[in-house]
């Protein structure tokens, strides 16, 4: 079986369509994202190589992209990846307390994964939600105007989801 499933290939193909034929490499951002999603949320060297090969670019070029953006994970991550904005607006609005709280509740550090494999905490740059700072993103959902209570509620919701599924 090839590293990329036919579904992922089909998705990448859709993106390739959006660019001129000689700009096939433009699909590297969405391509890596889709491959990551299909690979349990992280990009292995094999997956990066497969995406690069499919787009006819040198593997190092895809790796540069993967190492540049914070949305790509280069090692296995926890079940829920919580991305907390630490850019200027969120900083002014007190993201630090949110982070400390998250670190304590999830029993891990920013940038790391909890021992039970449930949570990965990430610091990210501005997500364009400054008017409702501070904010975080988890499972493609924005959570804004964060307070410690909101964080608690979110975490118990995530835990429950985990238990019910």
Partner 1 sequence: MIDIEINGIALKAPLGASIIEVADANGISIPRFCYHKKLSIAANCRMCLVEVDKVGKPLPACATPVTANMKVFTQSPKARDAQRAVMEFLLINHPLDCPICDQGGQCELQDNAMTYGQDFSRFDESKRVVVDKDIGPLIATDLTRCIQCTRCVRFGQEIAGLRELGALGRGEKMSIGTFVEQSLVSEISGNIIDLCPVGALTSKPFRFKARPWELNQHASISPHDCLGTNLYIHTRNGDVMRVVPRDNEAINETWLADRDRYSYTALKSPDRLTQPCIKRNGQWQVTDWTTALATAADNLMAINAQHGSDALAMLASPISTSEEFALFAKIAKHLKVTQFDHRIKTQDQRDQTILGHYLSTDTTIVALEDCQVALIVGSHLAQELPLALTRIRKASLQGAVIHALNPAHYEFNCTLSSNVTCAYEQLVTELASIVKAVLLQRPDRGYDALISSLQLKELTPSAAHLKIAEDLLNPSNERKIILLGQLADHHPDAALLRALCLTLNTVANVRYFFITDGANSTGGAIAQHLQNNISKPYATWVNNAVHAYVLLNLEPDVDCAHSGALVKQLKQAECVIAISAFDSAQLRESATILLPAACFTETSGSFANIEGFQQCFAASVAAPGDSRPGWKILRVLGNLLKIAGFDYVSSDDIAQELQAELAQKPLTAAVATIEPLTALLSLNKKCPTESLTLFSDWAIYRGDNIVRRAMPLQQALSQQACGIYMNSATAKQWPTALTLSTIDDRIADHNAFIPAGFAHSTELQQQLFQSLTIKPTHD
Cβ-contact 11, 32 below 8 angstroms: no
Q: Residues touching partner 1: how many (CB under 8 A)? A: 12
Instruction: Return the number of the residue (68 or 165) whose C-beta is nearest partner 1.
Output: 68
Q: Which of 90, 102, 138, 151 binds ligand FES (CB under 6 A)?
A: 90
Residue 4, burial from CB neighbour count under 10 angstroms (0-12, 13-18, 19+): buried
Answer with the entry of partner 1, ligand FES, none that 85 interacts with (C-beta below 5 to 8 A by kind): ligand FES
Q: How far is the CB of 151 from partner 1 (least distance, A)?
A: 28
Both tokens of residue 34? 């889709």
**Cα separation, 136 vs 129, whole angstroms:** 9
As a whole number of Å, the end-to-end CA separation of the chain is 29
Instruction: Give the sign of the dihedral formed by CA 98, CA 100, CA 101, CA 107.
Output: positive
Answer with the entry of partner 1, ligand FES, none that 34 interacts with (C-beta below 5 to 8 A by kind): none
Total Cβ atoms within 10 A of residue 42: 16
Q: Does 129 bind ligand FES (CB under 6 A)?
A: yes
Residue 144: which of 107, 95, 104, 106 has the closest Cα? Answer: 95
**Cα separation, 139 vs 50, whole angstroms:** 25
Q: Which stretch binds partner 1 (CB under 8 A): 4-12, 66-74, 93-101, 107-115?
A: 66-74
Q: Does 138 bind ligand FES (CB under 6 A)?
A: no
Q: Which of 28, 32, 43, 48 binds partner 1 (CB under 8 A)?
A: 48
Instruction: Return the number of the residue (64 or 152) whose C-beta is nearest partner 1.
Output: 64
Instruction: Give the interface with ligand FES as residue ranges (CB under 6 A).
Output: 85, 87-90, 126-130, 133, 135
Q: Which residues bind partner 1 (CB under 8 A)?
A: 45, 48-49, 58-61, 63-64, 67-69
């Amino acid at each position: 079986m090839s590293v990329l499933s036919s579904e992922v290939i089909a998705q990448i193909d859709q993106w390739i369509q959006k660019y001129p034929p000689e700009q096939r490499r433009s699909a590297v951002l969405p391509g890596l994202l889709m491959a990551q999603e299909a690979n349990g949320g992280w990009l292995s060297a094999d997956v990066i190589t497969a995406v690069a090969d499919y787009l006819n670019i040198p593997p190092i070029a895809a790796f540069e992209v993967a190492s540049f953006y914070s949305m790509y994970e280069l090692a296995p991550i926890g079940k829920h990846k919580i991305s907390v904005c630490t850019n200027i607006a969120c900083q002014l609005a007190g993201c630090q307390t949110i982070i400390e709280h998250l670190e304590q509740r999830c029993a891990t550090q920013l940038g790391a994964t909890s021992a039970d494999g449930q949570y990965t905490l990430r610091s990210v740059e501005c997500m364009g939600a400054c008017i409702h700072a501070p904010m975080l993103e988890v499972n493609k959902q924005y959570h804004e105007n964060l307070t410690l209570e909101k964080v608690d509620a979110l975490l118990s919701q995530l835990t429950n989801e985990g238990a019910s599924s």
